[in-house]
Amino acid sequence: MIKWILIKVRIHQIKRQLNELGIGYAFILLAFLTTLIFYVYLAYTQKEKSLFLFIISILSILAIQISRRDKEFIFNHIDHPVQNIFAEYFILTLPVTITSLFTSHWFYFPLIILAFYFIANIKIRLKQRTVFPKLSKIISPYDFEWLSGLRKTYAGIVIFLLLACITCWIRILPLIFLWFITTSVASFYQECESLPVLFASSISPQNLLKKKMVKSIQFLIMMLIPILILNSIFNPGFILINIIFLLIQITILIFAILLKYTTYSPNETLKGNTLLLSMVSIGSLIPFVLPIPLIMCFRNYSKAIKNLNFYFND
Amino acid sequence: MISVINIDKSFDSKKVLNNLKQDFALAEVHGIIGLNGAGKTTFFNILSSFMKTDSGEILYNRKKISRNDVAYLETINFFYSKITGKEYLEIFPLTNQQFELEKINKLLKLPFDEIIETYSTGMKKKLALMAIIKQDKPIYIFDEPYNGLDLETNMALEIIIRNLQKKEKTIFVSSHILSPLLNVCDEIHLLQQGSFSKNYTKENFNNIEKELFEDFNKSASEIIADSI
Q: Which one is predicted more confidently, A301 or A125?
A: A301
| B74 chain-A contacts, CB cut-off 8 A | 194, 196
Burial-class residue B70 by CB neighbours within 10 Å (0-12, 13-18, 19+). Answer: buried
* Main-chain phi, psi angles of A313, to 5 degrees: -70, 125
* Main-chain phi, psi angles of A58, to 5 degrees: -70, -45
Three-state secondary structure along A189-200?
HHECCCHHHHHH
Strand ordering across the sheet containing B14-24: B14-24, B2-11, B55-60, B63-64
Strand ordering across the sheet containing B139-143: B70-73, B139-143, B170-174, B29-33, B187-192, B195-201
Of all residues in chain A, the one with the smallest CA distance to B83 is A148
Statement: residue B117 has pLDDT above 60 = yes
Of all residues in chain A, the one with the smallest CA distance to B93 is A200
Min distance B51 CA to chain A CA atoms (Å):
8
Give the number of beta-carbon pairs within 8 Å between A and B: 70
| A128 to B115: CB separation less than 8 angstroms, yes or no | yes
Q: State pLDDT tens for residues B129-176.
A: 999 999 999 999 999 998 878 888 888 888 899 999 999 999 999 988
Q: State pLDDT tens for residues B54-106.
A: 999 999 999 999 888 999 999 888 999 999 999 999 999 999 988 888 888 88
pTM: 0.80
In this structure, which amino acid lies at residue B84?
T
DSSP string, B44-96: HHHHTTSS--SEEEEEETTEE--GGGEEEE-SS----TT-BHHHHHHHS----
Of all residues in chain A, the one with the smallest CA distance to B131 is A196
Q: What band does A59 get if pLDDT is binned at 50, 70 and 90?
A: confident
Q: Which is it for strands B2-11 and B55-60: parallel, antiparallel or unpaired?
A: antiparallel
| B45 chain-A contacts, CB cut-off 8 A | none
Of all residues in chain B, the one with the smallest CA distance to A134 is B113
- Bridge partners of B92? none
The answer to whether the CB of B32 falls within 8 A of the CB of B173 is: yes
Q: State pLDDT tens for residues A267-290.
A: 988 877 887 888 888 777 777 777
Give residue B38's pLDDT.
Answer: 87
| B88 to A200: CB separation less than 8 angstroms, yes or no | no
Give residue A55's pLDDT.
Answer: 87
- What structural domains and CATH numbers belong to chain B? 2-77+134-227 (3.40.50.300)
| A200 to B91: CB separation less than 8 angstroms, yes or no | yes
| A128 to B87: CB separation less than 8 angstroms, yes or no | no
In this structure, which amino acid lies at residue B33?
I
| B77 to A194: CB separation less than 8 angstroms, yes or no | yes
Q: What band does A249 get if pLDDT is binned at 50, 70 and 90?
A: very high
For residues A199 and A212, what is the distance between their CA atoms, to the nearest angstrom?
14
Partner A, chain B 52-111, Cβ-Cβ below 8 Å: 64-67, 72, 74, 77-84, 86-88, 90-93
| B83 to A201: CB separation less than 8 angstroms, yes or no | no
Task: Please report the ipTM that was assigned to this predicted complex.
Answer: 0.86
Min distance A200 CA to chain B CA atoms (Å):
6
